[in-house]
Amino acid sequence: MTLDPASVGLGHSPIWGCVIEMGMANGVATLVCLADGTTSMYTSSGGGIIGAGAHQRVARKNSELLAVVARCVGDLTRSDDDSLPRAGQTCIRALTSAGQRQYQAATDDLSAGRSALSSVFHSAQSVITELRMIDGNRR
């Protein structure tokens, strides 16, 4: 999360990525979306999907998510905290040229539209849906 985006070809975009971590009873699921289209999802149990941004539909949803994050970045606070959310909580992290910004809320509130960052959560769910679709097609 402290990566210099220019050092890996992500340019100098104000929002160069986002990380969304969802705490569940059995661990944490982490969605990573970067401005170059890189899209991956990891679970603390060891599963995941890496490099899905090569799929056009995933890359499009990634781009849409980053646009929503850019519109909502003012609702996130500057933070260097990288602790994982507990069960029932979701942490939204914007990776910006000025450092990491963060927002944490109950997953139920984000899902039900009762949070300022619900639009980010729903956009992230669209990315996850596309990831599941391509993962299902590989089986």
pLDDT digits (tens, 9 = 90+) for 19-64: 999 999 999 999 999 999 999 999 999 988 988 988 999 999 999 9
**Is 138 a member of any domain?**
no
CB neighbours of 128 closer than 8 A, spacing ≥ 6? 31, 41
How many angstroms separate the Cα of 16 from the Cα of each of 32, 43, 127? 11, 22, 16
pTM of the model: 0.91
**Is 92 a member of any domain?**
yes
* CA–CA gap between residue 47 and residue 4 (Å, rounded): 27
Per residue in 80-127, pLDDT tens? Answer: 999 999 999 999 999 998 889 999 999 999 999 999 999 999 999 999
Q: How many domains, the chain?
A: 1
Query: What residues make up the domain containing 74?
Result: 5-132
**Is 17 a member of any domain?**
yes
Contact (CB, 8 A) for 62 and 33: yes
**Is 71 a member of any domain?**
yes
